[in-house]
Amino acid sequence: MKLHHKLKTFNIGGVHPDDQKLSAGIAISPLPLPKVVTIPIIQHIGAPAKIIVQRGDMVKTGQIVAIHEGFVSSNIHTSVSGRIGVIEEVMDSSGFKHIAISIRIKGDEWEESIDQTDTLVEEINLEPKEIVSRIMEAGVVGMGGAAFPSHVKLSVPEGKHVDYLLINGVECEPYLTADHRLMLEKPKEIIVGIKILMKALGVTKAIIGIEDNKHNAVELFKELLKNETGITVEALEVQYPQGGEKQLIQALLNREVPSGGLPSDVGVIVHNVGTTFAIYEAVQKNKPLIERVVTVTGKSVKQPSNFLVRIGTPVIDLLIAAGGVPEDTGKIVGGGPMMGKAIADLDVPIAKGTSGILLIPKEESTRAEIYNCVHCGKCIEACPMGLEPYHLLILSKKGNSQRAKEEHILDCIECGSCSFVCPSNRPILDYIRLGKTQIRKPKKA
C-alpha cells in the first residue's frame, strides 16, 4: 500500500472552489498581432509612467515609451513596432479611464539589443545591483495579478534579513492555467530566473510552491532540480487562496507575516513563476516585459486556450481567437472567478497583470438574492486572515472606519472567500473593499 503523505497547506480559513482547469492541457500559442495596440501608462501599483514619445513617432518592438516616475513605478515599453497614434484617456481593465498610448502596427521590427532566440542562457554575469536595475529598466511587475513593481520587492530595506525565496506556482484561482502552462513549457528558464533572483537577494534557499492539481509540473521540476542544491519544489494541498503571499509563506515555512507587515519582515520574498520567467527574459535576453501568457477560458468557450499575448492587445482579439463569444455568456471577467473583475468594454487592452479572460454563462453569473445575515460564522471560518468578515461589512456599511481599522480591516487580502461561502449571498467583500478605501481616503468634510 502506498503511504499517504499529507501535503502542506495554510492552516487558517480557506475554501475549495471547483477548480475547472479546462485549458490545462492546451499548449501556449502566440496570438497573431492585432492592428492596433493600446498601452496604458499605468499598469502597475504606484505612480504612472511619464510618456516620452509623441504622436507620429515610429517605434520598434521593445522600445521604451514611458519612463517610471519615482521608485514605486514601472517603465512601459511598446509591445509592437509601428507608429504612435493618439495619446488619450481610454477605459482599461481597471474599469476606469487612464491615459494610454495607441500604436498602429507596421511589421514586427524589434530593438537590436533584444535576444529573440529560444536558446537557454544559463550563465549569470551581472552583479546583484545590476540585476535589480535591469529588472527595473525592463518594467517587470508582479504578474500574478497585483502588478507590484518587481524591483521594489527585490530592494530589501536595510536591517531586514531575507533567507528564503519562494516561487509562487500555486495558481489557486479556478480556471486559470497561464502559470501552469509556463511551468510545463519553460521550466529551465524559470529555474535560471530563480537563480537570478537568489543572486540578487543573496539567499541560498528557494522553494517552488505548486498545488497538487498541477502534479505534472511538480514532477517535472523534481526531475530538473535533482542535481541542484538550494532549490526545492513542494507540492501543496489544493486550497484557495494559497497563492496569496501570506498564505504561501505560512504553507511552506509556517511563518506568519505580522499584521500590516511585509513578507520581508519574516525573511521571505515571494515571486510568481510568470514574474520569474519575465525576469529571466529581462536579465538574460535583455527583453522588456512586452508580452505575457493569458488564459482564455469558460465552460462554453469553443477552444479554451493559453495565448502568448502582446501587452495592449484588445480583449476582443483574444475572444475571437478562442472561437468567439458563446451566446450564453453573461459576464466576461478579467482574471479568475474569485478575484477577477467584470470587463465593461471589450476593447480594453491586456495589461501586464491580466492573467486570464473568463467567460461565465448567464445562469452562473447573475447575483443571487441577498438575505439577512444569520450569524452562521461561515465567513469567519473561511477567512484566511482570521478576520470577522460579517462584522467588517456592518462597520463599513455604517462608515465606522475607526472601528473597522481596529478590527484589522486593512489586513484583508480581498480573496473573496467570505462572499463565496455566505449562505445569504451577502456582498461581504464589496463592503470590505469600500471600508478599506474609506480608511485610506478619509471622506471629504
User: 117 or 366: whose CB is closer to another protein?
Assistant: 366
- Distance in Å, CB of 430 to another protein, minimum: 4
For helices 187-201 and 128-137, give the axis angle rounded to 10 degrees.
Answer: 120
306 three-class SS? strand
As to burial, measured by CB atoms within 10 angstroms (0-12 exposed, 13-18 middle, 19+ buried), residue 139 is: buried
| CA-based R_g, the chain, Å | 21
User: 54 or 366: whose CB is closer to another protein?
Assistant: 366
User: 259 or 437: whose CB is closer to another protein?
Assistant: 437
- Distance in Å, CB of 368 to another protein, minimum: 11
Q: In the complex, which residues of this chain contact another protein (CB under 8 A)?
A: 91, 94-97, 331, 341-342, 344-345, 365-367, 427, 430-431, 433-434, 437, 443-445
From CA 258, how far away is CA 443, in angstroms rounded? Answer: 28
CB 43 within 8 A of CB 353: yes
- Scanning 322-427, the segments in alpha helix (DSSP H) are 362-365, 378-382, 389-398, 401-406, 417-421
From CA 21, how far away is CA 19, in angstroms rounded? Answer: 6
As to burial, measured by CB atoms within 10 angstroms (0-12 exposed, 13-18 middle, 19+ buried), residue 408 is: middle
Residues in a beta bridge with 370: none
From CA 164, how far away is CA 204, in angstroms rounded? Answer: 7
The vertex-310 CA angle with 309 and 312, nearest 5°, equals 115
From CA 230, how far away is CA 225, in angstroms rounded? Answer: 9
- Distance in Å, CB of 331 to another protein, minimum: 7
- Distance in Å, CB of 372 to another protein, minimum: 15
239: Cβ contacts below 8 Å, ≥ 6 apart: 9, 10, 14, 15, 16, 172, 211
User: 112 or 327: whose CB is closer to another protein?
Assistant: 327
User: 97 or 302: whose CB is closer to another protein?
Assistant: 97
User: 344 or 410: whose CB is closer to another protein?
Assistant: 344
- Distance in Å, CB of 389 to another protein, minimum: 14
The vertex-384 CA angle with 378 and 390, nearest 5°, equals 40
User: 152 or 428: whose CB is closer to another protein?
Assistant: 428
User: 235 or 415: whose CB is closer to another protein?
Assistant: 415
Cell numbers given for 387:
478576520
Phi, psi of 364 (to 5 degrees): -95, -15
Cis amide linkage into residue 442, ω under 30° from 0: no
CB 166 within 8 A of CB 206: yes
- Distance in Å, CB of 364 to another protein, minimum: 12
User: Which residue reads 522600445 in cell numbers?
Assistant: 63
User: 62 or 349: whose CB is closer to another protein?
Assistant: 349
Closest by CA position to 225, among listed 205, 201, 202, 203:
205
User: Which residue reads 469567519 in cell numbers?
Assistant: 380
User: 331 or 408: whose CB is closer to another protein?
Assistant: 331
- Distance in Å, CB of 346 to another protein, minimum: 10
User: 89 or 223: whose CB is closer to another protein?
Assistant: 89
